[in-house]
Amino acid sequence: MDKRPIGVFDSGLGGLTAVRELRRILPGEDIVYFGDTGRVPYGTRGRDTILQYARQDVRFLLTQDVKFIMAACGTVSSVYPTEEAAKLPVPYTGVVGATARAAAAATRSGRIGVIGTAATVRSGSFAAVLAQLDSRLEVRAKACPMFVPLVENGYVTPGDPVALAIAHQYLDELRDAGVDTLILGCTHYPLLTGTIRMVMGPDVALIDPGRETADAVKDALEQLELLNGTGGTARYFVSDAVEQFRQVADLFLGEYAGGPVEQIPIETY
Ligand code: DGL
């Protein structure tokens, strides 16, 4: 039993889709969330910048006495080196491993699509894990840079005409290639599930990184005997104005009830 909070971070608000899942399956845990809303997006930036930002995010969470860190960001998860994560004073997970394992388990045809930010797709992170799991898997990856601004601006109603046109632009080729499983390799994308499903059709399995990784965090906490059954609070930190967070947080969380939100100067960490 360990009463310290779980630390979760993302480049912005997409990681709240992972918080939603954590709160659903681990209601007794306290959560500290950091969203780098002042510097989002990360996915269009170069590796060194993403790494520098990720290190600051991790350092901030460590000041909050967290017992576990989850990078709820496909982009950070794709570039943060495993060796560096292993040296942190608390256990760490990104979203790539658990999400790739779920996709490998879900596919029947062996054809898996991966969508993510430009940096995520450039890194080849999901394809590398999938190849380790089963070298016969065929993986097609596609960067979808317009999806994050669509979500952050609220174009999330299933079939929204703007979102649907862009989704066709990105996803038609994956559908036509016959993928039967699609990794939503960015934690913003589950908000576009309705629209993505309209393009991919009802039979393609959509793999949500927040959901899969929340399950993996639960397993890890159990194994490490770090679970807490008596908490349940959430505190939120952002690097830009808190009003913007308040306006859209419930969209991501589904249940945001006005927990404390604070702005911090992340560049000083
Ligand atoms: N939520 C981030 C991810 O999972 C994407 C947003 C960004 O580009 O910063 O990759």
pLDDT by 10-residue block (mean), the chain, 269 residues? 96 92 94 95 96 98 98 98 97 98 98 98 98 98 95 90 98 98 97 97 97 97 96 94 84 71 97
- Catalytic, 144? Answer no
Binding site membership of 209 for ligand 1 (Cβ less than 6 Å)? no
Q: Which of 73, 95, 129, 199 is catalytic?
A: 73
Domain boundaries, the chain: 6-94+211-268, 96-209
**Domains 6-94+211-268 and 96-209 are alike in CATH topology:** yes
pLDDT at 53: 98
pLDDT at 250: 79
3-state SS, one letter per residue, for the chain: CCCCCEEEEECCCCCHHHHHHHHHHCCCCCEEEEECCCCCCCCCCCHHHHHHHHHHHHHHHHHCCCCEEEECCHHHHHHCCHHHHHCCCCCEECCHHHHHHHHHHHCCCCEEEEEECHHHHHHCHHHHHHHHHCCCCEEEEEECCCHHHHHHCCCCCCCCHHHHHHHHHHHHHHHHCCCCEEEECCCCHHHHHHHHHHHHCCCCEEECHHHHHHHHHHHHHHHCCCCCCCCCCEEEEECCCHHHHHHHHHHHHCCCCCCCEEECCHHHC
Selecting from 3.40.50.2300, 3.40.50.300, 3.40.50.1860, 3.90.1260.10, what CATH number does the domain 6-94+211-268 have? 3.40.50.1860
pLDDT at 256: 58
Write the CATH number of the domain with boundaries 96-209: 3.40.50.1860
- Catalytic, 73? Answer yes
Instruction: Report CA-CA distances (Å) from 142 to 69, 99, 186, 256.
Output: 28, 16, 12, 32
pLDDT at 258: 61
pLDDT at 18: 94
Nearest ligand 1 atom to the CA of 209 is 4
Binding site membership of 10 for ligand 1 (Cβ less than 6 Å)? yes
Binding site membership of 213 for ligand 1 (Cβ less than 6 Å)? no
pLDDT at 255: 66
